[in-house]
Structures are given as structure tokens and as C-alpha cells.
């Protein structure tokens, strides 16, 4: 283990944040068969820690403890739940630096981005601490004079939350925040690549006084854990962020017990630069939308569509800006896949303007790459690249850009760069996407709904709408005066 990494892990251990066991019913627990799995630093390949490798049995116990805890947690007042969440937020912020280091260690993103993720991730807990107090129902004017109708919002029950490796903290807080605010309890299954941040966050939830069993964490054998969550009638909700393929499996699996399902799946985000865009704004926005997290977010620009009048100027300025990016952190898993996409594009006529090879740093590093002359039918335009490759496609008219942008099964994020106000409205509305950034490359915030259309997912996270995913609307009818059964109604 390198000296730098050792001092970081020692510090984390000293502050009690380097947890390696699962959390079930408020207790830190080994896998029942004692198995462990290695967590690696993707930038160096070093083993950071061995964590419990759990499966179906541990998950069933985690579900039982969440089910028991639901009884009391859901009956607390909203203000009491809010207080617990607020304390959790304060602790996440108090440990911002250590959590950031942990994210960099196991996920590989630059420390500045990792600390930024802690800020972003913690804000979901703060926001939902506030939102907990605003779960308003509704009174509906009754159809009979002696009746009163109302809608009561109730927590759906135990939620299973399955999260990916690209945002080890934020993908968890974005789910657990609203779940707990509504009165649900959770079984979290973080990615096996990045479980340490999830475990540290769970430790801080305990320290914040969130009762045992309200937040449980299991990791290890993903399909076994997934099956236990899907088949349990006690789990009433599955919330997932990850690949479209796994999301579809979970949706099918949830049908057996008719669970509520939220899915945040893959994107294929177009970034459209019109002739009338401000070149600097477009270059910086496209850079942020493309290369944030090394191109590994589901809202990352996947295709840069550039109008012919600005194409050459943009390609030149964009390549220069990409050239100035500093490489020094892990690019995660997909290097081989990225290579295939680039080879396919080049064999079909694309030109490499910059990069196009594995980085000399080795391991999982790939050079920031810009391809020009890319066509819609190339793999790099059709599949989610999830890596630092920006393909530039040329278009002539607004209609053509909209058609190219929508010609995909995905529909998560899109970006447009234009200074024409009417075009902004026209194109934003015509794009079949859940999120549209206008002259802006960074669009995620806890106060706005995040989610996709088409095969990019179901449901919304963040904002007041994120609460709906964990609530049932219970319609109730009450007699205000005397009971009459003469109307023959149900
Ligand atoms: P990504 O490409 O982001 O890694 P995945 O869909 O492979 O996306 O993984 C996202 C999460 O889904 C991870 O926590 C992973 O362990 C989990 N996962 C993968 N396969 C299954 C499965 N069959 N059942 C439940 N969870 C799964």
C-alpha cells in the first residue's frame, strides 16, 4: 500500500469511518459464511479494504430489521424524522474532507470533484430534512352532502435501494433522504466497487441518532441480494440507479410482488450547439457536460451535435480546451469498451482530432479524446460511451438536430447552446428528454426533479417530486353526519 493511501486509510479508520462490515439492525456484521471481497483503488489497483461479501440470507435479515424499524420510524412526527436527517446532514458536512478522500480512493475521481460530490450528496439529506414536514394531503369536495373525502399520504414501507459506483455517496443520499423523510426504512445495496463511502455514510446516520434498522447496508453477491429484495413481500419499493439492462431485470423481478419501482438508467445525451451560440459558453458547457467525472455520469453529453456554420470553429476551440484537461485519476471500468467505440468510429470514417488511445499512465486511464466527422449510425453515437470521448456530429437545420437528438431509446439529459430565445423554448420542448440544460453543462441539483423518459427510467429524484416515489396516496371517505347505505355505492 502506498504511503499516501495508508495515511488516508489510517485517518479514516481513526475517525471510525472506515467500515468494512454490513449494517443490519444497527449492528456491524460479517457475511454469515465469513466471505469478503476486495475493494480496489482504480487509479493504482491497490487493495484499500476487504469488505463483507453478503448474499440472500443477510439481505433477508436486513429486510426484517427494516420491516421492524418501519413500525416506529413511520410513526414518529415529521419534525422528529426531520431532526434526525438534519443531524445526519451536519455530520456528513463535518466529515466532508474524509468522505471526499474515501470517494477518491475507491472511485478514482479527483479529490476536488469528490469533495464536491459530498456537498452535492449531503444537500439531498438537508433538502429532505426540510421536505419531511411538507407531506401534505388533500381534501376533495365530496359527492354526497354527508361525506368527507380526503387523501392521506403514507410511507410505502421498506425500500430497497441499489446504487452504482460513479457517485458513491450522492446516489445513496438521493434515495435514502426522501425515503426516510417519508417514514420509509431502507436496505441499501451499494456497488461492490464503492461500498466504503456507503458504509461511512451509514455510520454517520447511526451517529446522528437515526434508529437501528432504519438504514441497513448489505453488499456482495448482487444477483442474490437483488433476488432477496425483489421476492420479499415486505419490500414495497425498489429504487435503482445503474445500467438499463439491470434496471429492466429489476423491473421484471418486482412484478412478482407488485412493488413500486423507480429507475434511473442510462442516457445518450445530445449536446446541440447552434450557429447562434456563444462559442465560449458552448465550449465550456460542452466540456463540463462531457468530461465531468471523466465522462462517467448518466447525464454526460454522449454526442456533440454542431451546426455546420460553427462546426470548424467549435471543433478547434473544443479540442484545444480538451487538450488542457489534466489526466491523473482513474477512468473506472470501461476502457476496453471505449476502445471498441473509437475503433468502430475510425473504421467508418471518423477523424481523431485529439487523443484516441489508452493513456500512458496505464491502468484504467484513457486519453481525453475528440472525434470529428462522426455519423449517427456509429456505435459511439448509439451506445452510452461512459468515458472521456467526445464525438462531434455535424447538422444543417434545427429539425435535423432535433431528429438526430431524439433518434434513441434513451431520454435522460440533453443540452442546447443558442442565444435565440424562441429556439430555446422550441427545441427544449421538442426534445424527448427528462432534463434539458440551456447554455449550461451542469444541471443536477437537489431542488429540481432528475429523471428520464423512454428507456432512461421511471420516476424522479430530488425536489418535492422525489418524495412521491416513497408515498402511497390513501384515499379515505368519512361520514360527517349520519350513515346512509341507500345509495348502493361501494
Ligand atoms: P453500472 O454500469 O453503473 O455499474 P450496473 O447496473 O451494472 O451499472 O450496476 C448498478 C448496481 O446494480 C450495482 O450496485 C450492481 O451491483 C447492481 N446489480 C447488478 N446486477 C444486479 C442484479 N442482478 N440484481 C441486483 N442488483 C444488481
C-alpha closest to that of 197 among 305, 294, 92, 330 = 92
Best mutation site among 106, 238, 242 for ligand 1 pocket (most ligand atoms within 8 Å of CB): 242
- The 10s digit of each residue's pLDDT in 123-156 is 999 999 999 999 999 999 999 988 889 999 999 9
Q: Which atom of ligand 1 has the smallest separation from the CA of 249?
A: 23
Supply the pLDDT for residue 334: 43
Task: Record the cell numbers describing residue 416, joined without a space.
Answer: 442546447
C-alpha dihedral sign at 366, 372, 378, 384: positive
Question: CA-CA distances (angstroms) from residue 429 to 295, 405, 419, 461?
Answer: 26, 12, 16, 21
Q: Which region holds residue 293: left if phi is over 0, alpha if psi is between -120 and 50, else beta?
A: left
- The 10s digit of each residue's pLDDT in 274-327 is 999 999 999 999 999 988 777 777 788 899 999 999 999 999 999 999 988 877
Query: How far does the centroid of ligand 1 lie from the alpha carbon of residue 221, in Å?
Result: 10
DSSP state of 55: -
Residue 427 Cβ < 6 Å to ligand 1: no
C-alpha closest to that of 296 among 262, 329, 326, 272 = 329
Instruction: Give the lowest-confidence range in 107-111, 329-333, 437-441.
Output: 329-333
Supply the pLDDT for residue 298: 77
Q: CA 274, 277, 278 angle in degrees (round to 5)?
A: 155
Residue in the structure block whose three cell numbers are 425498489: 238
Best mutation site among 106, 107, 164 for ligand 1 pocket (most ligand atoms within 8 Å of CB): 164
Residue 298 Cβ < 6 Å to ligand 1: no
Mean pLDDT of the chain: 92
Residue in the structure block whose three cell numbers are 479529490: 111
Residue 333 Cβ < 6 Å to ligand 1: no
Q: What percent of the chain has pLDDT over 70?
A: 93
- Specify the 3-state DSSP secondary structure of 50: strand
Residue 222 Cβ < 6 Å to ligand 1: yes
Q: Is the pLDDT of residue 400 over 60?
A: yes
Order across the sheet with 22-24: list the strands: 27-29, 22-24, 215-217, 185-189, 158-162, 235-241, 260-264, 457-458
Residue 220 Cβ < 6 Å to ligand 1: no
Q: Which whole number is the average pLDDT over 231-251? A: 97
Query: For ligand 1, atom 27, which residue shows the shortest CA distance?
Result: 222
Residue 226 Cβ < 6 Å to ligand 1: yes
Confidence of residue 363 (pLDDT cuts 50, 70, 90): low
Q: Is the pLDDT of residue 201 over 60?
A: yes
Confidence of residue 332 (pLDDT cuts 50, 70, 90): very low
Question: CA-CA distances (angstroms) from residue 226 to 174, 222, 456?
Answer: 19, 6, 20
Query: How far does the centroid of ligand 1 lie from the alpha carbon of residue 42, in Å?
Result: 18
Amino acid at each position: 500500500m502506498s504511503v499516501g493511501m495508508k495515511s488516508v486509510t489510517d485517518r479514516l479508520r481513526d475517525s471510525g469511518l472506515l467500515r468494512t462490515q454490513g449494517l443490519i439492525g444497527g449492528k456491524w456484521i460479517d457475511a454469515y459464511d465469513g466471505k469478503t471481497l476486495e475493494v480496489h483503488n482504480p487509479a493504482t489497483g491497490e487493495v484499500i479494504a476487504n469488505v463483507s461479501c453478503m448474499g440472500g440470507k443477510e439481505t433477508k435479515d436486513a429486510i426484517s430489521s427494516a420491516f421492524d424499524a418501519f413500525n416506529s420510524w413511520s410513526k414518529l412526527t415529521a419534525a422528529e424524522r426531520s431532526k434526525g436527517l438534519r443531524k445526519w446532514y451536519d455530520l456528513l458536512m463535518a466529515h466532508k474532507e474524509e468522505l471526499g478522500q474515501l470517494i477518491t480512493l475507491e472511485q478514482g475521481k479527483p479529490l476536488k470533484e469528490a469533495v464536491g460530490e459530498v456537498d452535492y450528496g449531503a444537500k439531498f439529506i438537508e433538502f429532505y430534512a426540510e421536505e419531511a414536514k411538507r407531506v401534505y394531503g388533500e381534501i376533495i369536495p365530496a359527492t354526497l352532502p354527508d361525506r368527507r373525502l380526503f387523501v392521506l399520504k403514507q410511507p410505502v414501507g421498506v425500500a430497497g435501494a441499489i446504487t452504482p459506483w460513479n457517485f458513491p455517496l450522492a446516489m445513496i443520499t438521493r434515495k435514502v433522504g426522501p425515503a426516510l423523510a417519508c417514514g420509509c426504512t431502507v436496505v441499501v445495496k451499494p456497488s461492490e466497487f464503492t461500498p466504503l463511502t456507503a458504509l461511512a455514510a451509514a455510520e454517520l446516520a447511526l451517529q446522528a441518532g437515526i434508529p437501528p434498522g432504519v438504514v441497513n447496508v448489505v453488499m456482495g453477491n448482487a444477483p442474490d441480494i437483488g433476488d432477496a429484495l425483489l421476492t420479499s413481500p415486505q419490500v414495497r419499493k425498489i429504487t435503482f440507479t445503474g445500467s438499463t439492462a439491470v434496471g429492466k431485470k429489476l423491473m421484471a423481478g418486482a412484478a412478482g410482488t407488485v412493488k413500486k419501482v423507480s429507475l434511473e438508467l442510462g442516457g445518450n445525451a445530445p449536446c446541440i450547439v447552434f450557429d447562434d451560440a456563444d462559442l465560449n459558453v458552448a465550449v465550456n458547457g460542452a466540456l463540463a457536460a462531457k468530461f465531468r467525472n471523466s465522462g462517467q455520469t448518466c447525464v454526460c453529453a454522449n454526442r456533440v451535435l454542431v451546426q455546420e456554420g460553427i462546426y470548424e470553429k467549435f471543433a478547434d476551440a473544443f479540442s484545444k480546451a480538451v487538450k488542457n484537461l489534466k489526466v491523473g485519476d482513474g477512468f473506472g471500468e470501461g476502457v476496453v469498451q471505449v476502445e471498441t467505440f473509437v475503433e468502430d468510429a475510425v473504421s467508418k470514417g471518423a477523424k481523431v482530432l485529439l487523443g484516441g488511445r489508452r493513456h500512458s499512465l496505464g491502468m484504467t486511464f484513457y486519453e481525453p479524446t475528440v472525434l470529428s466527422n462522426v455519423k449517427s449510425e456509429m456505435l459511439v453515437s448509439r451506445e452510452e460511451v461512459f468515458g472521456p470521448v467526445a464525438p462531434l456530429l455535424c447538422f444543417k437545420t434545427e429539425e435535423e438536430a432535433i431528429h438526430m437528438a431524439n433518434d434513441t431509446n434513451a431520454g435522460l439529459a440533453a443540452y442546447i447552446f443558442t442565444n435565440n430565445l424562441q429556439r430555446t423554448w422550441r427545441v427544449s420542448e421538442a426534445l424527448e428528454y427528462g432534463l434539458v440544460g440551456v447554455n449550461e453543462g451542469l444541471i443536477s441539483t437537489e431542488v429540481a426533479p432528475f429523471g428520464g423518459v423512454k428507456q432512461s427510467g421511471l420516476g424522479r429524484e430530488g425536489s418535492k417530486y422525489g418524495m412521491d416515489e416513497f408515498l402511497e396516496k390513501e384515499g379515505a371517505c368519512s361520514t360527517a353526519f349520519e350513515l346512509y347505505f341507500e345509495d348502493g355505492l361501494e
